[in-house]
Amino acid sequence: MKAAYAKYRLDFIEPGGTSRGVLTHKDTYFLKIWDPEAPEHFGIGECALFKGLSAEDDETYEGKLQELCRNVSMDRGTDLTGYSSITFGFETAILDFSNGCNRTIFPSRFAEGKEKIPINGLVWMGSKDEMRSRIEEKLSAGFKTIKVKIGAIDFDSEIELIKYIRSRYSSTDVEIRVDANGAFTPQNVMARLDELARYDLHSIEQPIRQGQWEEMAKVCHDSPVPVALDEELIGVWNPMVMMELLKTIRPQYLVLKPSLVGGFSNATEWLKMAAQFNIGAWVTSALESNIGLNAIAQWVSTLQPKIPQGLGTGKLYSNNIASPLEQEGDAISYNPGKSWVMPQFSWNEF
């Protein structure tokens, strides 16, 4: 077996407002695995590093990719502990190769084009007017679950946006999720949750910043709005620590981003542990290209989700990878009649 990686810059069609600032582009890495005797057939995965959020965002990252590629060529294992996005990309590439090198990562009815996955409509951070316009777009597109990122503008304006949705649609017609990205403090969080609770929300993600287990446990216990952990899970790999986190905090939900929480293997462990505490969960993409999004969507389909997932639609980037993924209304699907079109990547071979 041989392996190679390539760095690729994804360009946003419109600047994307996140808790890590406004993004105009995002660098990612692709990992390719093939048999030297048939190089035209290869498995590919995305090592979706998220600058400023991924736990492995440091100067060792490309060195670990080089080590992995060399070890694959020498049929040796590589310790990827702590390298979440590389684990995610490597798992995807191996599964793609094993399933025939046609971008089928998890065989399923979804991958055959016979099932769709319900998704939420994500409202990016921006000015109040920009966010209101995006809310209108999502509602007009038919989304029944709207996720609003808060914490970027003043809280009163954000409440007005949520109030605007609820003034038009009841909770039985449109579900509202909010994501605070840790924007609240232990001092103001309960007052803000009490205010948010007036609008019958489904949940709030990460109301205070991660790493404050005792404070977060109190929030989860006292909050009038169900709490979902997101950033709290990033960088936590040790099974004993994972279990202790859940036992201590006892959230109502987990939000799992496979490229940030240790790939599909570690995300599966989170799901197993969450089930022991009757903690719900849903899966979210994290600005991956269509290669990473496809892998996540196919994995999600095997979980037979009952609630909308936080999957992207592949429409963020002007130079995304052309794929069979399609989005219509509030669902994402896979059209086997469409082809993947890969750019000419600059591969680093070892």
With both helix axes pointing from N to C terminus, report the angle between 263-276 and 84-98 in degrees, rounded to the nearest 10. Answer: 110
Contact call for residues 224 and 251 (beta carbons, < 8 A): no
Cβ-in-10-Å burial (0-12, 13-18, 19+) of 110 comes to buried
- The C-alpha atoms of residue 185 and residue 188 are separated, in whole angstroms, by 5
Q: Which amino acid appears at position 114 of this protein?
A: K
Side-chain-side CA neighbours of residue 39 (13 Å): 5
Residue type, 323: S
Residue 311: closest CA among 291, 289, 330, 285 = 285
Which amino acid would we find at residue 10?
L
188's CB contacts (< 8 A; 6+ apart) are none
- Which of 64, 138, 149, 306 is labelled catalytic? 149
Residue 157 in tokens: 């304006």
User: Can 149 be counted among the known catalytic residues?
Assistant: yes
The catalytically annotated residue of 2, 51, 257, 306 is 257
Q: Residue 115: exposed, middle, or buried by beta-carbon count in 10 A (0-12, 13-18, 19+)?
A: middle
Residues 6+ apart with CB under 8 A from 240: none
Q: Pairing mode, if any, of strands 117-118 and 348-349? A: unpaired
Residue 147 falls in the annotated catalytic set: no
> What secondary structure does DSSP assign to 175-200, as a single string?
EEEEE-TTBB-TTTHHHHHHHHGGG-
**Are the beta carbons of 74 and 13 closer than 8 angstroms?**
no
Query: Which burial class, exposed, middle or buried, applies to 270 when counting CB atoms under 10 A from its CB (0-12, 13-18, 19+)?
Result: buried
Token pair in block for residue 244 = 């202790």
Catalytic center residues? 149, 257
